Structure 1
Amino acid sequence: MDLKTLSFSSPFPIPPLNNYTNTPKKHSFSHFTPHFPSLRRQITVSCISPVDQNRNLTTPQEEEIFSSTSRSGIISSTSEEEENIEEFEAGNESNILKQIKEIGLFAGPAVGLWICGPLMSLIDTAVIGQGSSLELAALGPGTVVCDYTSYVFMFLSIATSNMVATSIAREGKKEVQHKISILLFVGFTCGVGMLLLTKVMGAQILTAFTGPKNLSIVPAANTYVQIRGLAWPAILVGWVAQSASLGMKDSWGPLKALAVASAVNGIGDIVLCCFLGYGIAGAAWATMVSQIIAAFMMIESLNKKGFNAYSVSVPSPKELLKIFELAAPVFITMISKVAFYSLLTYFATSMGTNTTAAHQVMIQVFCMCTVWGEPLSQTAQSFMPELIFGINRSLKKARMLLKSLVIIGAITGSVLGIIGTAVPWFFPNLFTSDLEVIGELLILNPEVHVIGTLSG
C-alpha cells in the first residue's frame, strides 16, 4: 500500500481514476492537534490500492515544485515552533519575576513583624551595654527565659496562618471567626501559664541556668524576667491576631502596630536607662509596655477587618487535635532550636561575666539576622493553601511560588551572613564601651559565621 501525506494541497489536478477499486480513499485526521498552535494542520492521508502502485500521479517537474513547497512549509512550521518555545520561556521568566515582586510586597512588611522582637532585645542590649557589663551579662539568661522560650509557641503563629488561609479558601467568614476564637483561647491560656511559671519559678530557673559561679548576675536577670513576664498573655494573643491578618494576606496592619511598639521601646530605653538611670529594670519596663501596645493594636487591626478579636471559644478535643497535627512538626523544630541556643548561652555563662556579655551581643545580632527568613515561611503558609486546596487551585503556580521563595531565600541569606559577621567585628562600640568585652567580641565573632552557616 502506497501512503502519501500532503501537508498542503497540490496546485495541479490529479488525473481521475476509472474504476471503483482505483479511487483514492481519503481519511481526514483534523482532530489531531499537537501542543503548539503553529503545528495544528489538517492532515490528509491517501490510501491507494496495489493496482496503481506503479502509476505516476505527477510529472517530475510537478514533484519538484511540490517538494519545494513542502520543505518551505516544514521550515515555516519549525521556525514558528521555535518562536513559540522562546515566547513560552520568556513568559515563564516574566511570571517568576512578577511573583517575586508580589512576594516582596507581602513579605517586605512581614519582615517588620518578625524583626520587632529581636530588635527590642537588641535595643536593650545596646543601651544596657553602655552602662554596665554586669547587667549586659545578666541579659543573657534573661533573654533565654523571655525571648527564646517564646519561640516554643511559634506553633500558634503557624497554625493560625494555615487554618485561617485554608478556611478563607474553602469556607465562610463564620468558620474563620470560630477558628480565630479558639486559637485566641489557646494563646491566652498559654500566656497565663507562662506568666504564673515566671512568677513562681523564675529565680530558680535562672539560678540553675547560670550556675554557682555566676550568682552575681541572678538578681539583675530575675528583675528583667519578672517585669517582662507580665506581658506573656498579651504577647501570645498578639501573635494569634498578627498571624490571622497574615493568613488574610494583610501584612501592613500588623506592621504599623509593631512599628509603633518598636518606637515606644526605643524611646523608653533611652529615657528610662540613659536619663533616669533605671538600668536593666528600665529596659524591661520599656519592652513590656511596647509588647502590650503591639498586641492591642494588632487586635484592633483584626477587628477592622470585620472579625471580633475579643471573642474566645473553648476548642473541642477534635479541634485541639487539628491544631496539634499542624503544630507538632513546628513545635518539635522550635524546641530543638531553643535547646541548642540555650545550651550556647549556658556554656558561655560558665566562662565568666565578660564572655557572657560578649556572647549576649553576638547572639542578639545573630537572632536579628536569622528572623529575616521567617516572612518567607509566612508567605508560604498564607499563599500555598489557596493554590493547593482552593477553588482555583494550581499546582503549577504552587511550584513557581516555591521556586521564587528559594531564590529570595538564597539571596537574602547570603547578604545577611555578611552583615551579621561584619557589624560586631567593625562596630563593637555600638554595644559596649568595655574594652575587655570588646576583646571577647573580636574572639567570638567567628561563632556567628559558623552558626549562620549551619543554620542556612
Structure 2
Amino acid sequence: MVATSVAREDKKEVQHQISVLLFVGLAGGLFMLFFTKFFGSWALTAFTGPNNVHIVPAANTYVQIRGLAWPAVIVGWVAQSASLGMKDSWGPLKALAIASAINGVGDIVLCSFLGYGIAGAAWATMVSQVVAGYMMIDSLNKKGFNAFAISVPSLDDLRTIFTISAPVFITMMAKVAFYALIIYFATNMGTYTVAAHQVMIQTYWMWTVWGEPLSQTAQSFMPELLYGINRNLSKARMLLKSLIIIGAILGLILGIVGTAVPWLFPNIFTADQKVIDEMHKVLAPYFISLAVTPAALSLEGTLLAGHDLKFVSLMMSGCFTLGAIVLLLVSSGGFGLPGCWYALIGFQWARFFLCLQRLLSPTGMLYSEESNDYKPGMLKVA
C-alpha cells in the first residue's frame, strides 16, 4: 500500500496508511499478547503431543516472556514495511543490527554468566524486539511522517486492508503451517529425530532469510514500474530478470554453504552421534530445497507488488494442501525424516514454477500494456 502511494507521489495518503496500519498492528499485538498469556500452555501441549509433555513447562516459560513483546513486534513490522515501501532499507537495517547486538549480548550474559537458561534467552530476545520496534517507528518520524499519530480505521479503510491482507495472510499462514506440520511429524519420530530436525530446520530458516531482501526489493521497486507516474513494464521485466539471476546464484551459494556446515562441522550443534546421523540423512533434500528459495521469494514478491493476490493465496493454499497430503503419506509410510524433507522440496519448487509461469504469461502483469487487471483500483473486484 505504501509503495503504491509513494509511486503516485501522494504523501498525504502515505501518512494516512501508516497511521491506520499502526493501529491495526497494535491491536493485533495486544490480541496476541492476550492469547499467549491465557492459551499459550494449552497450545504448546496440543502441539507437542503426549510423548513430549515434559518439555511444555520450559517451552511455556519461553513463550510467556517472548509474548510480552508482541505489540512492539507487530508495530515494528508495520513500521519496517512502511520504510521498505519508501525504498529505505538503512533505517530497518540499523534497528535490526542494534537489536541483534542486544539479543546476542543478552543471551551471553543471562544464559552463560547468570545461568537463567531458556528464560534468559527469552528476556534477551524480548528486550531486543521492543528496542527494534521503537527504532522502526523513529525511522519513520525522521522521514517526515508522524508514526505516533495512530488513527482508528474507518470501514472503508478496513475493507481495503482486508482486501489486501487477507490473501497475504493466507499465503503466510500456509508457509508457517507447512513448516509446523513438518515439525509436528518429526516430533513423533523420537527424541534423536526431533533434535536433528530442529538443528536442520533452524539453520535452514537462517539461510532462507538471505532471500527475503529479494522479495522486499520487488515489493519496493515494482509498484513504481507497474503503477507509477512513469509506468514502464520493460524495466519491470528487466528488474525481475535480475532478481531471478541473483536469486539463483544466491541460492546455489546458500545451498553449498548451508549444507557444508552440518555436514562437515556437525559438532557445532551436538556431540551426539545418533543426532548427527539423523542430520546427515537429510543433507540432499536440505540443499535442493534451500537452493530454489531465494528465486521463489523474488517471484512471490513481484506478484505481491503487482497485487495479484488472489493467485498467490490460491497457489500457496494448493501447495500447502498437496504438501500436507504428501507429509501424511511419507510419515505413515515409514520414510522418516528424509521423507518430510523431500516433501519440502516439492513445496518449494512448486511455488517457484507456478509463480514463474504466472509472471511469464503473455497476459500477465508484466506483459499486458493495456490491461487493467492488476491495477490497485481493481482489488475489490478480485
TM-score by length of 1: 0.62
Secondary structure at the aligned position of 1:215 is classed as: helix
Higher gyration radius (CA) = 1
Match of 1:428 among 244, 263, 266: 266
Aligned-pair distance for 1:437?
2.9
Q: C-alpha offsets along residues 285-342 of structure 1, whole Å, 9 cap, x if unaligned?
A: 1111111111111111111111111111111222222222222332222121111111
Whole-angstrom distance in 2 between the partners of 1:447 and 1:396: 36
Select the structure with the greater relative contact order (CA < 8 A; seq sep ≥ 6).
1
1:404 aligns with 2:242: yes
After superposition, the Cα gap between the structure-2 partners of 1:244 and 1:320, relative to the gap in structure 1 and judged at 3 Å, is same
Match of 1:367 among 205, 218, 221: 205
CA contact (8 A) 2:255 2:288 kept: no
Paired residue type of 2:218: A
Match of 1:306 among 138, 141, 144: 144
Percent identical pairs in the alignment equals 71
- Superposition RMSD in Å: 1.6
Q: C-alpha offsets along residues 62-89 of structure 1, whole Å, 9 cap, x if unaligned?
A: xxxxxxxxxxxxxxxxxxxxxxxxxxxx
Residue number in structure 2 paired with 1:355: 193
TM-score by length of 2: 0.74
1:273 aligns with 2:111: yes
Match of 2:219 among 356, 378, 381: 381
Residue number in structure 1 paired with 2:49: 211
Aligned-pair distance for 1:446?
3.9
Match of 2:15 among 177, 185, 192: 177
Secondary structure at the aligned position of 1:366 is classed as: helix
CA contact (8 A) 1:214 1:352 kept: no
Q: C-alpha offsets along residues 271-292 of structure 1, whole Å, 9 cap, x if unaligned?
A: 1111111111111111111111
Residue number in structure 1 paired with 2:306: none
Runs (4 or more) in structure 1 with deviation over 6 Å come to none
Paired residue type of 1:399: R
Whole-angstrom distance in 1 between the partners of 2:285 and 2:50: 26
Secondary structure at the aligned position of 2:69 is classed as: helix
Structure 2: state its 5+ residue gaps. 291-344, 350-382
Whole-angstrom distance in 2 between the partners of 1:247 and 1:351: 43
Residue number in structure 2 paired with 1:140: none
Secondary structure at the aligned position of 1:333 is classed as: helix
Secondary structure at the aligned position of 1:381 is classed as: helix
Aligned-pair distance for 1:380?
1.2
Paired residue type of 1:262: S
After superposition, the Cα gap between the structure-2 partners of 1:385 and 1:358, relative to the gap in structure 1 and judged at 3 Å, is same
Residue number in structure 1 paired with 2:129: 291
Residue number in structure 1 paired with 2:24: 186
Whole-angstrom distance in 2 between the partners of 1:414 and 1:320: 41
Paired residue type of 1:308: N
CA contact (8 A) 1:358 1:438 kept: yes
CA contact (8 A) 1:238 1:298 kept: yes
CA contact (8 A) 2:2 2:85 kept: yes
Whole-angstrom distance in 1 between the partners of 2:83 and 2:93: 10
CA contact (8 A) 2:193 2:278 kept: yes
Whole-angstrom distance in 2 between the partners of 1:348 and 1:203: 21
Paired residue type of 2:17: K
Residue number in structure 1 paired with 2:58: 220
- Number of matched pairs: 294
Paired residue type of 1:172: D
Whole-angstrom distance in 2 between the partners of 1:399 and 1:364: 34
After superposition, the Cα gap between the structure-2 partners of 1:176 and 1:374, relative to the gap in structure 1 and judged at 3 Å, is same
Secondary structure at the aligned position of 1:310 is classed as: coil
Aligned-pair distance for 1:243?
0.9
Aligned-pair distance for 1:445?
3.4
Residue number in structure 1 paired with 2:333: none
Structure 1: state its 5+ residue gaps. 1-162
Paired residue type of 1:373: G
Residue number in structure 2 paired with 1:339: 177
1:414 aligns with 2:252: yes
Residue number in structure 2 paired with 1:75: none
